[in-house]
Structures are given as structure tokens and as C-alpha cells.
Amino acid sequence: MIKPAVEIHDLTVAYREKPVLWDIDVVIPEGSLCAIVGPNGAGKTTLLSSILGTIKPASGWLKIFDQPIEESEELIGFVPQRESVDWDFPVEVLDVVMMGTYRRLGWFRRPGKAQHDWAMECLEAVGMADLHRRQIGELSGGQQQRVFIARALAQDARLFLMDEPFAGVDAATEDAIRHVLEDLKRQGRTVILVHHDLQTIEQFFDHVLLLNLRLIASGPTMETFTRKNLLRTYGGRLTLLDEAAEAVRRIRTGGGGGGGS
């Protein structure tokens, strides 16, 4: 029986009192390469943040490797979207990757040769080893992406979360990322990533999660990534559900009351 890497039960997350994720119930097995797919605003980044623990759900719970998320000691390697980084910061590529080693290193201890070599190895894995002294603002978009993937690798985590790693990168970076993912899968690690390119899902991911405020479907790609499910994710409009969500928001932000007799 494959152990679940991530187990989510009835997760509901709200932002400004409007539901962004509703009743998500899913199990992602360990060792799988899982894509989260859905239209804009479907809650994909929110789902990642919930697994990461930075967003508190309105109801429901999550477990990472069978431990409740609050007590989870597991390192999760997280690769954020490129827009959220300060590229002007005086830090070099190697410094960023070494950040991945800090937690295991512990407080008050300076990174030594071991950390340095390990960071260089991770940079090798993404093909960026010769740029290790570059300031991060001087990299191209794809190279920047690879640096943050290297940082996640340096964390040596069991679970990796990536937010649109393939968005707007050049061919070389695409290849590099693909190799990294294949390596991770070979090592038995779990990777969950938000992906936007529907063409490449089937050839590459063994598990897929279709999301649009609610979980439309999830499971092995073969069975889940069907035309019917895709239509429901991208095409269908659950009007009454939208209206109810709007009603919730309106009432909660002071629109007065509905209800009563």
C-alpha cells in the first residue's frame, strides 16, 4: 500500500470571507509526480500555500506524511513564482542555494565545506554550476527559475512544491527542469507542481489534480485526464455555486442579512 505523501480532507480556504477552495478531498501518493491543473483563479496557488502551511484553512485538515500539518517536521522544498523575489538583492547564486542547507545546519553554525559542496552539486543538477558567483539579478528568467529549484534540491526534502516552474522559460531551462523532475522521481520523492501547459501533462505526470474552486477530479493521469473532466474544469459554470459563494461574501462583509423568514 503506497503511503500518502499529502492527505487533504474537506479543505476549505477563504480569502476576505469568500471561499477560494471548497471541500477539497484528495490523497497524493508518495513518489508521484503530480500536476495541479485549472483555470486562473481556481485556487492552485492557494492549495500549494495550504500544503506549505502558510495559509490556515477555514475548515478541514491536511496531513503531510501522515503527520498533521501543524506538527509536521517535514521539510518541504518550495519553488515560488518568479514575481515574488527581490532580484536586486545583493546575493549570489551560490548564496541562494546554500539557504537550502540552513535548516539542517542549525542555528549559530556557519556553513562549511560540506554545505558548499552540496550546494554546488545541486547547481550542477540544474546546469548552473558555472554561474555560481553571479548576482541573481543578472540572470535570465529561466536561469533564475533554476536557481530556486536548486535551492529546493539543497533542502533535500521528501516533498517538493513548485508554482508554475515552466512558465515563460526558455528551452534549455525546460530541459533542465525536466531532468531534475525525473531525477527526483527516480529517488522516490514526491513532487507536486502547478502546471499550465495541458499538452505536456499526459507524457510527463503520473498523477493529476483538476481544480476549479472545488476538486473536479484527481488520480492517475490515464484515468483522470479525460476530455469530460477537462470540460468540467475549464468549461462548466456552476452558477448556483458561484451565487452562493457571492452571497456568503456579501453577507460576511456587511451586506446585512439574507435569511430569516
Partner 1 sequence: MIHLLSPEGWEILSVAACAALACGIIGPQLVLRRRAMLGDAISHGVLPGLVLGFVFSGSRDLFWMMIGALIAALLVSFLAEWLRDRAGLDGGAALGVVFTSLFAVGIILVEIFARDVDLDPGCVLHGMVELAPLDQIEWLGRSIPRSLVPVMIALGLNIVVTLLLWKEWKICAFDPALANATGLPVRILEQGLLALVAVTSVACFEAVGSVLVIAMLAVPATVAHLLCNRMGSMVMVSVVVGFLSAFIGTISAEQLDTNVPGMMATTSGFFLMGAVLLAPGRGIVPRFVRRFRWTLRVAMEDLLAEAQLCAEKSRPAPARQFLSMRGLATILLEIRGFLRAGRPRGQGQRIAQALLKKRGLWRRFAAERLGLAPDHLDEPAHRIEHHLDEDLTRKIETGLDSMRD
Partner 2 sequence: MISPNTLVILAGTTALGICCGLVGALMLLRRRALLSDALAHATLPGVCIAFLLSGSRSTIVLGVGALISALIGAALVSWLPRFSRVRRDSATACILGILFGAGIALSAIIQRSGPGAAAAGLDSLLLGRAAGMLRSEAMLLGGCALVMSLLVLVLRKELLVSCFDPLFGRCSGQPTGALDLLQTALLAGTVVLALPAVGVVLTAALVVIPPAAARFWTDRFDSLLRISALLGAVSGMLGTAISSGHPELPAGPVIVLSATSFFTLSLLIAPKRGLIARKLRSSARKQQREVRRILHALLLASEQDLHSLSTDQIVAGSVSASPRALKQAIIDGFIERQGDRLQLKPLGSERARRARKSQEIWREWLTSEAAIDRDLIDLDEEDIEKLLPLELVRSLENSIELRKTTT
Applying CB under 8 A, which part among 72-80, 115-123, 180-188, 245-253 lies near partner 1?
245-253
214 binds partner 1 (CB under 8 A): yes
> Which grid coordinates belong to 223?
484515468
Tell me how long the chain is: 261
> One-letter amino acid identity for 164?
E
Please tell me the distance from the alpha carbon of residue 207 to that of residue 191, in angstroms, as a whole number: 10
Task: Give min distance, CB of 89 to partner 1, in A.
Answer: 11
According to the binding rule CB under 8 A, does residue 178 interact with partner 2? Answer: no
Q: Using the rule CB under 8 A, which residue among 15, 59, 138, 182 binds partner 1?
A: 59
Among 4, 2, 7, which Cα is nearest to 24's? 7
Neighbours of 145 (CB within 10 A): 27
Contacts to partner 1 from residues 102-131, by CB under 8 A: none
Give every CB contact of residue 231 below 8 A, 6+ residues apart in sequence: none
Using alpha carbons, list the distances in angstroms from residue 249 to 162, 253, 254, 258: 30, 6, 9, 12
Q: Rule CB under 8 A: which residues touch partner 1?
A: 10, 12, 19, 22-23, 25, 58-60, 88, 214, 238, 240-241, 243-244, 247-248, 251-254, 257-261
Q: Rule CB under 8 A: which residues touch partner 2?
A: 52-54, 75-76, 78, 80, 84-86, 89-92, 95-96, 98-99, 102-103, 105, 107-108, 110-111, 135, 140, 151, 155, 170-172
